[in-house]
């Protein structure tokens, strides 16, 4: 009997040393390190190195890695294209197109050796924040801000976005958020990258595939949807009524539930206190309190289903309080996840096999062709 696994639930496509998720016990590990410890003690550049190279860097290795990223942040080769992209374009569509265009300007585009593939991944990692910030400024009638090689990955992005140097704490908060979003095992976008590279395509094509997959609201767009949901509720006092009505209409509570986690998403536990900190600091407690009340009501209402909030639930509030527009949230996710996509792409290529699943045919056979003039 043929078993059709819609969504490829519980189907393993490779062996991996990159990420482990213990969904029953709310654990997430990057290369064996818990996400909580990395968020507390590490920084995004070090985590990106860990994911791509398989181990924590020495001081010299990290310095070289950071220098490469800083030296490759410029996007002069596609700036004319950036100015031609319609200002009404969704930022994810823009980023997908810009990353694809970068591949045509890379002098190593046709070199698919491992070393060249790593360098191409790092160039995309370096340039993606510049692309996102430049487009946001262009669509608002402002000139892009050139990257500052003295700033960290997170601090430089906030600087290019606003034109002002962020505070140390603001930069650290974004850095933590990038760590939390950097990798998550064989999710839809990582699988998409692996499918693309399994044909022996290139890193730019793989990452472009990942961005297109991440765009969907069931994947990368959920944090934007969650924030809009809180704004629609409008006031903490209306939270319970909103949840009851939404569930009556069989609508999703955005930012709730996860295919893998059967308990709390460990990234949520890191994100919620940061959301509270920023909301209090910015004087925007009402939106945060609305989120808390919706969370409490939803957990109670969904108790039998064992659905809990995930990383998307409070991350939108964090990004919003860092003065990042909601339609940029998925691109922040992308800026981080490029490191995980690169890691999975490189790992898959080590023991490559063309990904070619089957579809179970349920249609009819041996139909007779009818000439067009006789078709009704």
Half-sphere exposure of 300 (CA within 13 A, CB side): 11
Q: Answer yes or no: are the C-beta atoms of 78 and 105 closer than 8 Å.
A: yes
DSSP line for 134-156: HHHHHHTT-PPPPP-TTS-HHHH
Q: Could you give phi then psi for residue 316, rounded to 5 degrees? A: -60, -40
On whether the CB atoms of residues 45 and 66 are closer than 8 A, the answer is yes
Per DSSP, the three-state class of 271 is helix
Catalytically active residues are 258, 312
**Beta-carbon contacts of residue 148 (< 8 Å; ≥ 6 apart):** 156, 159, 160
Residue 115 · residue 52 · CB < 8 Å = no
Helices and strands of the chain, counted as H and E runs:
16, 3
- How far is CA 176 from each of CA 49, 333, 355, rounded to the nearest angstrom? 15, 12, 34
């Amino acid at each position: 009997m043929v078993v059709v696994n819609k969504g490829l639930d519980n189907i393993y496509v490779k062996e991996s040393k990159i990420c482990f998720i213990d969904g029953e016990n709310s654990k997430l590990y990057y290369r064996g390190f818990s996400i909580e410890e990395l968020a507390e003690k590490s920084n995004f550049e070090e985590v990106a190195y860990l994911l791509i190279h398989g181990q924590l860097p020495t001081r010299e290795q990290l310095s070289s890695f950071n220098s490469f990223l800083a030296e490759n942040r410029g996007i002069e080769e596609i700036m004319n294209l950036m100015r031609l992209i319609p200002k009404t374009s969704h930022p994810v569509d823009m980023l997908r197109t810009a990353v694809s265009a970068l591949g045509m300007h890379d002098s190593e585009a046709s070199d698919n050796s491992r070393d060249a593939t790593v360098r191409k991944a790092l160039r995309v990692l370096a340039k993606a924040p510049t692309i996102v910030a430049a487009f946001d400024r262009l669509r608002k009638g402002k000139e892009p801000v050139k990257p500052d090689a003295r700033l960290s990955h997170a601090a430089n992005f906030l600087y290019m976005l606003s034109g002002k140097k962020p505070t140390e704490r603001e930069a650290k908060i974004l850095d933590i958020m990038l760590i939390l979003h950097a990798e998550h095992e064989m999710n839809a976008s990582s699988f998409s990258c692996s499918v693309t590279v399994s044909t022996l395509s290139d890193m730019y094509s793989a990452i472009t595939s990942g961005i297109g997959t991440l765009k969907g609201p069931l994947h990368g767009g959920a944090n934007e949807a969650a924030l809009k949901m809180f704004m629609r509720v409008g006031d903490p006092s209306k939270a319970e009524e909103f949840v009851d009505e939404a569930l009556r209409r069989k609508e999703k509570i955005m930012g709730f539930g996860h295919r893998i986690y059967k308990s709390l998403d460990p990234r949520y536990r890191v994100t919620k206190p940061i959301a509270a900190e920023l909301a209090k600091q910015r004087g925007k407690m009402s939106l945060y309190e609305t989120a808390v009340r919706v969370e409490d009501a939803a957990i109670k209402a969904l108790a039998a289903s064992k659905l809990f909030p995930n990383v998307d639930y409070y991350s939108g509030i964090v990004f919003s309080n860092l003065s990042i527009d909601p339609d940029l949230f998925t691109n922040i996710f992308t800026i981080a996840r490029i490191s995980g996509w690169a890691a999975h792409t490189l790992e898959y290529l080590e023991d490559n096999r063309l990904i070619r699943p089957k579809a179970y045919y349920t249609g009819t056979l041996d139909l007779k062709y009818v000439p067009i003039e006789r078709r009704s």
